[in-house]
Structure 1
């Protein structure tokens, strides 16, 4: 599929997602319980192919690199990957950052949480860099309701760290689900809500609007129209 006028790392990442079927089309139920999503982002598939995985580690690293260039006050000491899916993403990204610019990112560490607290050896619920006194960026794949990221923020604060930012692979730009049955969904996305709640940068490699433009350019009318109709019900502008 052809890609719209995106930065090279975004275009390469989106092409890899489509080529590797990481972005899948059909009818899916999301983690939030919302049904009928016309596409699904399966980040676990990045682990099935080394070249495919290289595309996501490069895209995460470039997103962080470009953000530090455009916003000099944005800095971080540790990348945090919530268990389990984001663990390899954070580990690969902090290594790629050091490769891209060792002088700038060679000090950056990586950490992740255990879902089961270890009671032998070094013990504890965290693995990797210490978070106390550190500026921490959380990496995840997609924010639907943001449960894993919010749990990560609680861990970071409990360990004496400071949340510096959040980076995800795909911004669905989708309304949060209703908290009570029968209530209308709030007209705000998980990303927008987190920006308001935490007052830190919340970045994404690509968004659903990038996907829409790629489908439009490639003539994939069926998938394009299903996403457009779905966004009329659940889409947001931020």
Structure 2
């Protein structure tokens, strides 16, 4: 576990792991579902996650790129603690008004650390990384609250992105099985 908050995994697991019958994005049906928005909506848990994330942010980060939707509240809290400006990164550029992919300060030529809540396959992070790089950002690291990808694998190696996680699926499973 990379966190210094010994009870964080247990508290997030207790808050977010739901049992019942759930249809997953893949179409599969599961008896378990992890509702990440439950920890993001809890100001105390969100603050604890943000404080752990701060330790993982590269020192040369010039901007934090919170991904729509789950990365935005975390990036906002981390930004307010660190004083590092935040970008709010959309899944795709809006088709009206400014037609921006990312709202906030100019990021061309800047070191942007992506902030995400949960990474499983990394699809949204991969898309955002490519789009930000195409627009001139330097993107080398993503910091996430929970990495649910298989242990020992970097799902974003294909886009040369380092994944730094506060917690992993194994951390959450370990507290589930310990309790």
| Normalised-by-shorter TM-score class | 0.7 to 0.9
Q: CA deviation at 1:152?
A: 0.9
- Tell whether 2:159 aligns with 1:201: no
**Contiguous gaps of at least 5 residues in structure 1:** 69-73, 99-105, 175-187, 219-238
Aligned counterpart, 1:168: 144
Q: Distance in 2 between matches of 1:41 and 1:63?
A: 23
State the superposition RMSD in angstroms. Answer: 2.7
Aligned counterpart, 1:32: 26
Asked which structure has the greater RCO (Cα within 8 Å, sep 6+), the reply is 2
> For residues 7 and 138 of structure 1, do their structure 2 counterparts lie closer, same or farther at Cα, with a shift above 3 Å needed?
closer
The answer to whether the 8 Å contact 1:31/1:144 transfers is no
Q: How does 1:59-98 map to 2 (within 5 A)?
A: 59-64=52-57, 68=58, 75-96=60-81, 98=82
Task: Select which of 23, 28, 34 maps to 2:17.
Answer: 23
* Bigger radius of gyration among the two: 1
> For residues 13 and 86 of structure 1, do their structure 2 counterparts lie closer, same or farther at Cα, with a shift above 3 Å needed?
same
Q: Distance in 2 between matches of 1:86 and 1:94?
A: 12
Query: After the TM superposition, which segments of 4 or more aligned residues of structure 1 sit over 6 Å from their partners?
Result: none
Q: Distance in 2 between matches of 1:49 and 1:193?
A: 28
Q: Distance in 1 between matches of 2:170 and 2:78?
A: 24
Which structure has more helix as a fraction of its residues? 1
Which structure has more strand as a fraction of its residues? 2
**Contiguous gaps of at least 5 residues in structure 2:** none
